[in-house]
């Protein structure tokens, strides 16, 4: 069984292959030197400095880790159907990132040149790459919005507010672990635990494992009301 037959639902629904027919996807995958990489929880993919492949998540979740040379920070989370590597492949910028699986996961490695090699789908491919770039810029702006304040309470409030709005419910499962969330927000793990505990004691939120229930929406929104660039 080929890669497309095994993962057709995820691949077809991804932004990378949006608008492609099943036949066009299969032809592109044949041209693009694809390989499925399977990772256990906490295993990482160390990416080369000159990236020549796209990485499409097929199952599980990956966190994108950015290494600045001085320290490493969590950039964002990738779930099934999400793609990494477009800007680095297209522009030739040095890639200082790695991908770490937060659970048992699979990712499809696709040659960037091979993805664009099929003449009949090149226009669709370029449009989709532009769409992914736009989404990545939105995620970057969202992280800036979450981390610009010096206040730990404000950072957490903004993050939980956006999670609540994105998932459309006052009770939701946070996709990141506590440690990864602290890394993403550029705060220490103990500081995050202390603030979450305070917010729970004050009746703003209720914590049950990875599930957060917002009990006081007004207090949560007020906690991040002064910081928004989006």
Q: Which two tokens stand for residue 186?
A: 């550029």
| pTM of the predicted protein model | 0.80
Domain 148-223: state its class: mainly alpha
Q: What is the pLDDT of residues 27-69, one digit of tens each?
A: 999 989 899 999 999 999 989 989 999 999 999 999 988 876 5
| pLDDT per 10-residue tile (average), the chain, 230 residues | 84 95 94 93 91 95 77 78 91 85 95 93 95 85 75 90 88 89 90 94 92 90 57
Give pLDDT, residue 226.
52
Domain ranges for the chain? 3-141, 148-223
Residue 224, pLDDT score: 57
Tell me which CATH code domain 3-141 carries: 2.60.120.10
pLDDT of residue 148: 78
Three-state SS string over the chain comes to CCHHHHHHHHHHHCHHHCCCCHHHHHHHHHHCCCEEEEECCCCEEECCCCCCEEEEEEECCEEEEEECCCCEEEEEEECCCCEECHHHHHHCCCCCEEEEECCCEEEEEEEHHHHCCCHHHHHHHHHHHHHHHHHHHHHHHHHHHHHCCCCHHHHHHHHHHHHHHHHCCCEEECCCCHHHHHHHCCCCHHHHHHHHHHHHHCCCEEEECCEEEECCHHHHHHHCCCCCCC
């Amino acid at each position: 069984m080929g890669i497309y037959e095994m993962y057709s639902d995820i691949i077809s629904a991804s932004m990378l292959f949006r608008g492609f027919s099943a036949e066009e996807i299969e032809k592109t995958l044949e041209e693009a030197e694809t390989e499925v990489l399977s990772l256990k929880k906490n295993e990482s993919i160390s990416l080369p400095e000159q990236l020549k492949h796209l990485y499409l998540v097929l199952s599980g979740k990956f966190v994108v880790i950015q290494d600045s040379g001085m320290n490493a920070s969590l950039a964002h989370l990738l779930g099934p159907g999400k793609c990494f590597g477009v800007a680095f492949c297209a522009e030739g910028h040095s890639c200082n990132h790695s991908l770490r699986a937060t659970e048992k996961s699979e990712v499809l490695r696709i040659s960037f040149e091979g993805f664009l090699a099929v003449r009949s789908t090149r226009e669709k491919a370029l449009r989709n790459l532009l769409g992914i770039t736009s989404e990545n810029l939105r995620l970057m702006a969202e992280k800036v919005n979450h981390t610009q304040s010096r206040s730990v309470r404000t950072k957490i409030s903004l993050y939980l507010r956006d999670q609540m709005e994105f998932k459309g419910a006052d009770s939701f499962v946070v996709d990141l672990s506590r440690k990864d969330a602290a890394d993403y927000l550029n705060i220490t793990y103990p500081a995050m635990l202390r603030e979450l505990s305070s917010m729970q004691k004050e009746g703003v939120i209720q914590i049950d494992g990875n599930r957060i229930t917002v009990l006081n929406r007004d207090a949560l929104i007020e906690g991040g009301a002064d910081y928004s660039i989006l």
